[in-house]
Amino acid sequence: MKLLDGKEVSEKIKEEITWESALFFEEHGRQPHLVAILVGHDGGSETYVASKMRNCEKVGFASTNLRYEEDITERELIDKIKELNADETVDGIIVQLPLPAHIDPEKITEAIDYRKDVDGFHPINLGRMMRNLPCYIPATPYGILLMLDYYKIDTTGMHAVVVGRSNIVGSPMSVLLARNTVPGNCTVTLTHSRTKNLQEEVLRADLVIAAIGKKNFITADMVKEGAIVIDVGINREKSDKTKSGYKLYGDVDFDHVAPKTSYISPVPGGVGLMTIVGLLKNTLLAAKKEVYP
């Protein structure tokens, strides 16, 4: 069993981004600029946004964190996004999910200019991804592809099983793994909580992407010997044994599954760090106008 170490991979890629960011500053007299919008005081969201801001600083990006109380109206939030769309000094815009119940996340996503949608959630980016056209790939699937590439894992001909069908991870991941690219060229099965005989489906997999959002959902009896397992899950539980007061668990029962695998990603220290790298790379592409000139 070999660990897919998100810390090692992300640090290496961030070195490359730092170099490109410095070059961008030399050529344009400004830093690539990411704006993150945070509504409310969800603990997990605050942690994620703070981490994104820290990483922007580390690679030489400018970053702005706009914070709003939960009572902000949908209209006010959309108006702010339109203002950022028109600001030529802003390259990327992200709105941290989840949002309060009175705000429709789809409307917010569609309000972001697709050319600044560095999370890769806008329908135009997702549609272009489906057609294998230049676009911003959703940050988490992008990070997973970067991880597979770093470890030189040739997925050609593999049977990949994706567990979870979200628009953020599962569905785009299934499309990307099936494409005629490297990594890619997989035969893909997209499964979810309503899949019949889910255990049998996952047992057939050479590559498992677990993104269903349930603690320790993938157990040892669901994984065949030698499979590659990538755990996307981040499940927070209160704990009096950690400084933060929370402990993170993945969607994979790591302790029991790991001995059966050829490669496995841990939680924390795996895909979460790669998601940030995917976001940083998209922001750099946006600043350089490489995807949408």
Exposure of 43 by Cβ count < 10 A (0-12 exposed, 13-18 middle, 19+ buried)? exposed
**If we measure between CA atoms, which residue out of 168, 107, 101, 96 comes closest to residue 139?**
168
**If we measure between CA atoms, which residue out of 121, 109, 35, 113 comes closest to residue 74?**
109
* Cβ burial 59-92 (10 Å sphere, 16+ → b, else e): bbbbbebbeeeeebeeeebbebbeebeeeeebbb
Contact 6, 270 (CB under 8 A): yes
Determine how β-strand 235-238 pairs with β-strand 246-249: antiparallel
From 119, 231, 251, 253, the catalytic residue: 119
From 31, 80, 91, 96, the catalytic residue: 96
**Which residues on adjacent β-strands are paired with residue 210?**
163, 231
Clarify whether 231 is annotated catalytic: no
**If we measure between CA atoms, which residue out of 134, 138, 109, 123 comes closest to residue 274?**
138
Contact 119, 279 (CB under 8 A): yes
For residues 133 and 121, give the distance between their C-alpha atoms in angstroms, rounded to a whole number.
15
Give the side-chain half-sphere CA count within 13 A for 290.
10
Clarify whether 82 is annotated catalytic: no
Contact 2, 143 (CB under 8 A): no
Contact 208, 218 (CB under 8 A): yes
Q: Which residues are catalytic?
A: 52, 96, 119
